[in-house]
Amino acid sequence: MSIETIFDTMEYGTAPEDRSIALQWIADRGGLLGPYVNGAFCPGRDDLAICNPATGEKLAGLSLCTEDEVKEAVRSARAAQPDWQEAGGPARARVLYALARLMQKHARLLAVMESLDNGKPIRESRDIDIPLAIRHFYHHAGHAQLMPSALSDRVALGVCGQIIPWNFPLLMLAWKIAPALAMGNTVVLKPAEYTPMTAMIFADLCSQAGVPPGVVNIVTGDGSTGAALVDANVDKIAFTGSTSVGRQIQDATAGSGKSLTLELGGKSPYIVFDDADIDSAIEGLVDAIWFNQGQVCCAGSRLLIHEAIADDFHNRLKTRMDKLRIGDPLDKSIDVGAIVDPIQLRQIRELVEGSTAGQTYHAQTPVPEGCFYPPTLITGLHPADRLMQEEIFGPVLVSTTFRTPAEAVEIANNTKYGLAATLWTENINLALEIAPKLVAGVVWVNATNLFDAAAGFGGTRESGFGREGGWEGLQAYSKPSKPLAEPTQITAFTGQGAAAEDIDRTAKLFIGRKQARPDGGYSQAIFSPKGKLLGHAPIANRKDIRNAVQAQLACGWGKITGHLRAQILYYIAENLAAQANRFAERLDAMTGLSAGAEEVQAAVDILFTYAAWADKFEGQAKSVPMRAVALAMREPVGAIAALCSDQNPLLGLVTPMAAALSTGNSITLCASAPFPLAATDFYHILEASDVPAGAVNILTGPQADLAPHLGAHMGLETVWCLSGAPLTEAVQARASSNIKRVWQGAAQDDHASWLEAGTEIKTIWIPYGE
């Protein structure tokens, strides 16, 4: 093609990247790859064929690790972990730094192998995936260096099992391994069966970088290998993948005591207002949905376009789609590469062809034979249509319209997911109004797909929980240095006789700021250690839980300012202090001890402490290596339920309540079963303290009966299990219904952990300047 022809036609020529460097690396290892355990590669077997999705050619054979091989990798990690932790943060930082440098030196090999293995365009591997993976190791080398001073109250979890998907093989590896190693953990990682090649190169680099044997272990295989890792003797499971598999993992780890973080699916809205720069929004949309062939969990796959500009926007978008080039991923002039596997291609086709709603437009661009799918736009859909709700995980954009900003927010949040969102507008006031209302872990303003190691990434709802990146990401790979004692459940005292009061007074539940009779109509007698009848407490059931959660969801507590939350907590403390003697006497009568006065004073102190924190537990503006500000905003997790501890009946009730209210959450408190009268007395304090309806609800009764229903309730975002392992297991067994967080508490004076449990980070990216 001559220069004159190029200028005349404006057609691209090919610009192929040499693949020989990657093929030679495979050939040097005999074309067979096995697990990397205890600092060495195990002999490879040809159990699974690793193929180039663009051509179908076999790249290598891969071992399908057995359960015994997984256990051996975990034993290796377990043996290495104490010495790795004791080596200290600065020593770990040197190793992470060495890994980052080696990855830079072998960046071309990694990029070529990633595109061969995954099918993504080489430009994306070379310019985005590999540099960002390297950035994570550099960034977390810094965290390791600073850990002795900046995180002196945190220690490693132990051995971390990590399972990553096939869409960003090396980047997901970096997101998982870098923070784990920085905090002193050892890891056993399972890459996806489709895309293990860059993980194998990384294992080779670990040996070169001086990573001690056993610190990094990589097991290869399919879902059965991942299941074996979930069942193995690890302290944590970190999973990135589909919501359905995440739900299975949450069920499998219930009651095991393993820490868990899940980064799952998404159906992210891409909102364009009528004042947006349309051409910029379209270029951003190309990146949002056709980056990596749409095989991105946070892809902007739902276009929400202002009705006034919808036709013009769609027409311009179709013109831009027609100019996208599809072909060999190793061609540097290609925009859209290959779908990762024929199975995934078939799923995309079945979803699109199985839908009769809307109008489908395929880009008018040549599509090679093989594992390719053209950029696709489906317009005219209703927000409830299947393709607007289900994750397609391919280069398919679905679209609907809106008329007002309020309607845009309503449609955007009309999904079970909550991973990411994008909004385009030239009105900064509108942007700052809409961003906080979007239910998403990440929000991009006039940009999309911005990521950095310093900024947390993760979702809410059925997009999972936990964050990867930044200071918040380190929480998932560490724990407080002060261990939490396992709470014990106390058996209620028995007795007989009449209550001392002249007039019988049966306490009630406290729901929606009202005293409510229990749905079942039953109550239980509460006796002192000497058998004296102290009173009766209601027995709550599943319907009472439902009523309490409905009151929580109708409450606007999370929308009020931290200052106002503090004032109400101070008010509760004042009113409790005024009734200190009465509460102390009640506590002493129920427990048979003489520590009631001290417990009441401790409860008052806790209320003052969390009142003080209410307007001081702040987010951050993250330092990211680009002209943008990444605002890490702390948001309440939402509706919380707490199974309160039997020890310290009043303090065990007040502490979760104060921590939840301080951070903007509503809470339903399931009081101590043997000592519920402190709770039924306490709601009189709440009634006198201007606590809004639904912000605090109090239930009494056997916690073992309530726990499974709390775990299964779809309206609750998290359950704090503060009364022992058996009840925690009962909640966890049902928590996967909506990918619910389950937290087992922290030491009474570990206020940071309580505040962290009540908040989740929303990262809002705002580009600025040049």
Q: Is residue 668 within 8 Å of 530, Cβ to Cβ?
A: no
CA distances from residue 583 to 467, 492, 593, 604 in whole angstroms, order as listed: 41, 19, 13, 12
Q: Is residue 448 within 8 Å of 296, Cβ to Cβ?
A: no
* 302 backbone dihedrals φ, ψ, rounded to 5°: -115, 105
Question: How many Å is the Cα radius of gyration of the chain?
Answer: 28
Cα separation of 307 and 164, whole Å?
A: 39
CA distances from residue 342 to 57, 190, 346, 348, 387 in whole angstroms, order as listed: 13, 22, 6, 10, 21
CA 127 to the chain's CA centroid: 26
Strand order in 741-743's β-sheet?
A: 514-516, 509-511, 696-699, 666-670, 639-643, 718-721, 741-743
DSSP string for residues in 83-110: HHHHT-HHHHHHHHHHHHHHHHHTHHHH
Two structure tokens written together for 227: 């299941």
Cα separation of 724 and 489, whole Å?
A: 7
Q: Give me the helices (H) in 592-724, please.
A: 596-613, 651-662, 677-687, 703-712
CA-based nearest residue to 696, from 730, 662, 746, 646: 662
Choosing from 72, 193, 263, 391, which is the catalytic residue?
263
382 class by beta-carbon count within 10 Å (0-12 exposed, 13-18 middle, 19+ buried): exposed
263 is catalytic: yes
Q: Name the CA dihedral angle for 475, 479, 480, 482, rounded to a multiple of 10 degrees.
A: 180
3-state secondary structure of 766: strand
Two structure tokens written together for 574: 């004042």
Cα separation of 112 and 130, whole Å?
A: 10
Q: Is residue 448 within 8 Å of 302, Cβ to Cβ?
A: no
206 is catalytic: no
Amino acid letter for position 432: L
Q: Long-range contact list for 374-379, CB < 8 A, 24+ apart?
A: 374/326, 374/336, 375/289, 375/290, 375/321, 375/324, 375/326, 375/336, 376/352, 377/314, 377/317, 377/318, 377/321, 378/352, 379/314
DSSP 468: B
Cα separation of 398 and 700, whole Å?
A: 48
Q: Name the CA dihedral angle for 111, 116, 119, 121, rounded to a multiple of 10 degrees.
A: 40
Q: Is residue 738 within 8 Å of 250, Cβ to Cβ?
A: no
CA distances from residue 313 to 268, 294, 319, 321, 396 in whole angstroms, order as listed: 19, 20, 10, 12, 17
Q: Is residue 657 within 8 Å of 696, Cβ to Cβ?
A: yes
CB neighbours of residue 357 within 10 Å: 15
Cα separation of 103 and 211, whole Å?
A: 14
Q: Is residue 729 within 8 Å of 704, Cβ to Cβ?
A: no
Choosing from 160, 297, 371, 721, which is the catalytic residue?
297
Two structure tokens written together for 75: 């034993």
The catalytic site residues sit at 263, 297
